[in-house]
A and B are shown apart, each in its own frame.
Chain A
Amino acid sequence: MYTLVRGLLLFFTVVVAVWLIILIANLGGAMDKIIESQIKEQVGLRLMDPYIQQLPEAERRRLYEEQLEILRREYGLDRPFIERAVRYLLNGITLNFGYAEKVSSDTGSRQVRLILLERLPHTLLLWGTAQFLLFFLSVFVALMLSRRYGSMWDRLVVALAPTSAPPAWFYGIILILIFASLLRVLPYGGFVDAPPPPTRLGYVLSVLKHMILPVLSVIVGAIFASIYSWRTFFLIYSSEDYVELARAKGLTGRAIERRYILRPTLPPIVTNFALMLISVWMGGIITETVFAWPGLGRMLYEAIGHNDTPVIVGANAIYGYLLALSVFLLDIVYAALDPRVRVGATGGQRL
């Protein structure tokens, strides 16, 4: 019952979020005027054709009105904004994305689903690689450091933690400057060489070469703060009384780590991992722009530039769903991993 209510509440939250996005994307309907004037210009250009120009005035007038009407229907301007907003909302919520208004996929399709699907692999490849490396590297190094607490390396990482204040794109620009501009060993950006290498192996290698700098910038931008926070986290747990007891019992360091430190810290690690997976989906709008990486983040930026509401709503609806879903799943995963939460959940609504 609790789970059901929680699920419904989260769903409602997603609906409100998507609705807000629609309102902002359309400026509450003010965008219609801009689109209307763009349509008029478009129709005017179409009627510049010499054949049409020699038609009588009344005929030209009629054609103009006709074309205008067709385009207005295409953009949905024949309906009031509220009605369209409801349609956008319903389509977004039911993940029935329909057609983009202006943006198209590289293959020329106007289907939002195809546009999103086309960009998704690029984003998953880049951000998946970067975040996985970052996550496992920092958890691993953090465990090692927590074992050698107070050593030179440990103090170095603590001192370097503030370097994670600048975001990935910032390090991206610096890395481009060093490796592309000064040393000329890696490309400035993009996904693959132009023209793409003919062989499959050559293609893969070229993509990998283009991935090095973006991946590195994500890792450099976050690694020290990430290691620092995990290390502190492990240290807090390894100073618990039950760990002291285990140590007193004479258990080996590895067994203590596995059974008494990693086990209770698993829920936060899982939470972090799940949130990381979601951030992978959205990628970095700015980092992708800086590296000219053809991913979802950059596509969303382009869609916003064209004010393509279906695409904006589609991308954000998926994002909202994924976030809500993970919040929901985490409640369950927590209960599965942490018996204390399980007892708390069935033990009534005390706190």
Chain B
Amino acid sequence: MSAIWLRLKELRRYPSAVIGLVVVALLLLMSIYAVVRYPYGKAISLWRAGEVAWLENPRNAAPLWLNWFGADLPPTIVLGSDQARVLENQDLGGGVHRRLLSFSIDYLWRGGFPSEIALFYEASYQRTPPQAVLRWRTPDGREISLGTQTLRESGRYLISGDTTLARRLGGISPQVALFRDPWAKGDQARPLPGRYELLVELYTFDPQATANLKFIAYGRVHGWAGTDHLRRDLTLALLWGAPIAIAFGMTVALTLTFWYLFVSALGAWFGGWVDAVIDRLTELRMILPLLPILIMVGMFWSRSIWIILAVLIVYGLIGGSKSYRAMYLQARASPYIEAARAYGAGNFRIILRYLMPRFLPLSIPAFVQAIPGYVFLEASLAILGLGDPLLPTWGKVIQDAYSRGALYLGYYYWILIPAAMLFITGIGFAFIGFALDRIFNPRLRSL
């Protein structure tokens, strides 16, 4: 074992392997952070909750750091009742109360308009629901009436989705019409930077009536990874993708590498019918097409990542490896095995203590190099729409984006970030694998 350890230390001499090790270490840290920050159950419930859990997030927003490169896109602005200034407060008698609230927004982003604007409300009352008269004041002093809303219990007035308002504003979407620079030349609408005000005249009709308002101007950038079509923060998916990819790839690769090492030794050592059966099974596995089988399992049985993992391992358990078998057959005749037999070592002692350890170093690069394959296999299934129904994975994010036309609509971040994560993971392991191959394969050493 210490010999292997010494060899592993040689990795330091390969710059690519050092990069790979750093990448894998970062991924491991990310996995730990993901699992601690969002435990399994919480991650699933957040990811599957639908829009309810993410109401304050914009739809299809790009990552925040796009602004570092001069995009100048607005983030989401949320203003609650407590952030509104009360300009007037009158008792009109007979239980009727009038308040004038002002929500002020400093809009300084020149790169784009908000994606949506909405007013959320929560009201309690006895008989008559509160009424809100809405006005919009632009930095250059224009005032636009946004109509009157009846605040029944709780709900949302999606200002940007109000088609009547849009028609009144000249057929332009309200979120553009309200923020545009009216003197801008050219066809392209430009936002006018400055302080905007939403004036709300709130009428309540009984002394106990309350109305809570929240104004949201949804932005075009959000978080480290942006959001998807369901307003979900993609950071969650990116974080959780790491532990899933690593656990999935490592489990399959580790199990199967040791199994092949063991079962091929078994066949080569015992020979005869044991060898024949194992070799036939190996050929059977070569003929069984893996991807169609996984697709069938996914479509007819279960898409759970744990079931797919189990199927992959069961598939791998059919037979051994042809190349290990050939190496074992050669080793079987070596003098040191002869010596072991001479002192009376049993079959399994020879297999476990003499045959397998000799080829263990050779299987280490194979193990590391197999990991990216399984990571991408999971992503491949996700691309076909057969990803795990509960957990967010990188492949599933790519599939969501791809099937919703992210490439046509220009939401490149939606595909590029998870793709980059997959790529980095794959390359990281491959870097280490290639270097290990050179360390443990003496023939490759000088090449």
Residues of chain B contacted by A165 (CB below 8 angstroms): 372-373, 376, 426-427, 429-430
Count of chain B residues with Cβ under 8 Å from any Cβ of A? 48
**Cβ–Cβ contact B293 & A21, under 8 A:** yes
Residues of chain B contacted by A232 (CB below 8 angstroms): 444, 447
**Cβ–Cβ contact A323 & B423, under 8 A:** no
**Cβ–Cβ contact B287 & A324, under 8 A:** yes
**Cβ–Cβ contact A25 & B296, under 8 A:** yes
Residues of chain B contacted by A290 (CB below 8 angstroms): 383, 402
Q: From B79-87, B89-97, B175-183, B407-415, give the one contacting chain A.
A: B407-415
**Cβ–Cβ contact A177 & B292, under 8 A:** no
Bound together, the chains give a CA A83 to CA B177 distance in angstroms of 70
**Cβ–Cβ contact B284 & A13, under 8 A:** yes
Q: From B146-154, B159-167, B297-305, give the one contacting chain A.
A: B297-305
Residues of chain A contacted by B427 (CB below 8 angstroms): 162-163, 165-166
Residues of chain B contacted by A301 (CB below 8 angstroms): 295, 384
Bound together, the chains give a CA A13 to CA B278 distance in angstroms of 12
Bound together, the chains give a CA A162 to CA B23 distance in angstroms of 14
CB under 8 Å from chain B, chain A span 73-96: none
Q: Nearest B residue to A158 by beta-carbon distance?
A: B434
Residues of chain A contacted by B412 (CB below 8 angstroms): 177, 181
CB under 8 Å from chain B, chain A span 302-329: 304-305, 307, 312, 315-316, 319-320, 323-324, 327
Assess A169 versus B422: contact at CB under 8 Å? Given A232-B447, A351-B329.
no
Q: Count CB-based A-B contacts (< 8 Å).
A: 127
**Cβ–Cβ contact A31 & B292, under 8 A:** no
**Cβ–Cβ contact B300 & A27, under 8 A:** yes
Bound together, the chains give a CA A15 to CA B288 distance in angstroms of 11
Residues of chain A contacted by B426 (CB below 8 angstroms): 162, 165-166
Bound together, the chains give a CA A319 to CA B301 distance in angstroms of 24
Give the dominant DSSP class at B's interface: helix
Q: Nearest A residue to B333 by beta-carbon distance?
A: A351
**Cβ–Cβ contact B419 & A173, under 8 A:** yes
With an 8 A cutoff between CB atoms, is A16 at the interface? yes
With an 8 A cutoff between CB atoms, is A333 at the interface? no
Residues of chain A contacted by B16 (CB below 8 angstroms): 159, 162
With an 8 A cutoff between CB atoms, is A251 at the interface? no
- Which of B280, B293, B407 is the one whose CB lies under 8 Å from A180? B407
Residues of chain B contacted by A236 (CB below 8 angstroms): 443, 447
With an 8 A cutoff between CB atoms, is B274 at the interface? no
Residues of chain B contacted by A286 (CB below 8 angstroms): 291, 380, 383-384
With an 8 A cutoff between CB atoms, is A300 at the interface? yes
Most chain A beta-carbon contacts within 10 A, residue among B301, B373, B419: B419
Residues of chain A contacted by B201 (CB below 8 angstroms): none
Residues of chain B contacted by A161 (CB below 8 angstroms): 430, 434
Chain B positions 379 through 399: 1 when the CB is less than 8 Å from some CB of chain A, otherwise 0: 110011000000000000010
Residues of chain A contacted by B291 (CB below 8 angstroms): 285-286
Residues of chain A contacted by B430 (CB below 8 angstroms): 161-165
**Cβ–Cβ contact B280 & A9, under 8 A:** yes
**Cβ–Cβ contact B280 & A27, under 8 A:** no
Bound together, the chains give a CA A162 to CA B427 distance in angstroms of 6
With an 8 A cutoff between CB atoms, is A188 at the interface? yes
List residues of B whose CB falls within 8 A of some A CB.
Answer: 16, 20, 280, 283-284, 286-289, 291-293, 295-297, 299-301, 329-330, 372-373, 376, 379-380, 383-384, 398, 402, 407-408, 410, 412, 415-416, 419, 422-423, 426-427, 429-431, 433-434, 443-444, 447
23 pairs of residues in contact across A and B, judged by CB atoms under 8 Å: A16-B284, A17-B287, A17-B288, A21-B289, A24-B293, A159-B16, A162-B430, A162-B434, A165-B373, A166-B423, A167-B380, A170-B419, A170-B422, A173-B419, A176-B407, A177-B412, A181-B412, A236-B447, A304-B292, A304-B296, A316-B289, A324-B283, A351-B330
Q: Apart from A21-B292, A316-B289, what 7 extra A-B contacts exist at CB < 8 Å?
A: A9-B280, A25-B300, A165-B426, A173-B398, A177-B415, A188-B407, A327-B283
